[in-house]
Amino acid sequence: METLISILFFLFWAALVIAVAALAAWLFRAVIIAVSPKNLAKVLRTAPLTASFGMLIILIYVVVSVLAPAIAPFGEREVVGGEYLPWDSTYILGTDNLGRDMFTRIIYGARNTVGIAFVTTALAFIAGAIFGLLAATVGGWLDQILSRIVDVLMAIPALIFALLLLTIVGTSIINMILVIALIDSTRVFRLARAVAMNIVVMDYIEAAQLRGEGLWRLITREILPNAMAPLVAEFGLRFCFVFLAISALSFLGLGIQPPTADWGSMVRDNATLITFGDITPLLPAGAIALLTVAVNFVVDWMLHRASGLKE
């Protein structure tokens, strides 16, 4: 009987959370449609509630990241009390293993983890897309050399490769960004090359070549605009993978180093509380999962629009 009551209680709260999320997504979509230009509003009207919810969550994360010093009640590295203090009116989510405010650390973790993931993704995307489009357009020996290098790098499991490189070059933030960007640029390269290979055989590309268009103009004016939809969708997916990779490396001790706040390292440092039934260490893990799901909701909608499929 108690098990049945627990299941019903869980289902009630799950249904309540889903209903609140759907209502928030609907209200958010109505607001952004009202304040957007006509062309953008027309596109946003086609967005499902899942995509609207994803955009709302992403906006909240961005606002929290930008306004972290104004929102956080304490300093990022400030020791404010004893170890593992419980939740109360002063320490909303208690304190960590060193007596730092968990709520403050989670807020600053949004700025550090998400910001570094975005920079890493942008770097990986720029490098991978440029070389991928260049390989498909030029072809020949350049395509063969770049493709074989990428094949070698992709043959090594990404997390193991990242751990190996960071052990060799050191665990600074700059090194971590460069290592993860290098590894993930290989995935972007493969997609950009595959998409561009289908475009370079089109008649309008041949016509542009006959007009005497240069290589850079051919890539930026003819190929890139027609490859943009899958590449933009890949950017969102790649951000999720980079975000999770940084959190995993921080959990293993080779990512963002203390005392900088990071969600992955916060889970590791406070994992002891789980044995006492305290859910505090799960909060940064939940923040990671929520952003990953939100980005995937938006990416799914963008892929659906790019495919030309109709409901």
Q: What is the pLDDT of residues 50-106, one digit of tens each?
A: 888 999 999 999 898 888 888 888 888 888 878 888 888 888 888 888 888 888 888
Instruction: Decide if pLDDT at 285 tops 70.
Output: yes
Instruction: Give span(s): CATH 1.10.3720.10, the chain.
Output: 46-307
Residues 189-218 have a mean pLDDT of: 82
Residues 285-292 have a mean pLDDT of: 87
Share of the chain above pLDDT 70, in %: 97
Residues 265-272 have a mean pLDDT of: 82
Instruction: Decide if pLDDT at 306 tops 70.
Output: no
**Tokens at residue 226, please?**
């027609």
User: What does the DSSP 8-state code read for residue 310?
Assistant: -
Instruction: Decide if pLDDT at 198 tops 60.
Output: yes
What confidence tier does 1 reach under pLDDT thresholds 50, 70, 90? low
Instruction: Decide if pLDDT at 208 tops 70.
Output: yes
Please say whether the beta carbons of 85 and 95 come within 8 A.
yes
pLDDT of residue 298: 87
Higher pLDDT, 101 or 11: 101
pLDDT of residue 199: 84
pLDDT of residue 161: 87
Closest to 129 (Cα-Cα) out of 119, 141, 117, 121 = 121
Mean pLDDT check: name the lowest of 42-56, 89-103, 297-311.
297-311
**Tokens at residue 155, please?**
């043959």
To 10 degrees, the CA torsion angle through 40, 42, 44, 45?
160
- For 46-307, CATH gives 1.10.3720.10
Closest to 34 (Cα-Cα) out of 25, 22, 44 = 44
User: Distance between CA atoms of 229 and 188, rounded to whole angstroms?
Assistant: 13
- Taking only the tens place, the pLDDT of each residue in 209-268 is 777 777 788 887 888 888 887 888 788 888 888 888 888 888 887 778 778 888 888 888
* pTM for this predicted structure: 0.81
What confidence tier does 295 reach under pLDDT thresholds 50, 70, 90? confident
pLDDT of residue 123: 92
**Tokens at residue 90, please?**
């002063």
Instruction: Decide if pLDDT at 49 tops 70.
Output: yes
pLDDT of residue 309: 47
Please say whether the beta carbons of 105 and 79 come within 8 A.
no
Residues 108-114 have a mean pLDDT of: 85
Instruction: Decide if pLDDT at 21 tops 50.
Output: yes
Q: Look at the block and give the residue holding tokens 């998409």.
A: 195
Mean pLDDT check: name the lowest of 98-102, 151-155, 257-261, 281-285.
257-261
* Average model confidence (pLDDT) across the chain: 84
Q: Which amino acid is at 31?
A: V
The contacts of residue 187 (CB under 8 Å, 6+ apart) are 128, 154, 238, 241
Instruction: Decide if pLDDT at 310 tops 70.
Output: no
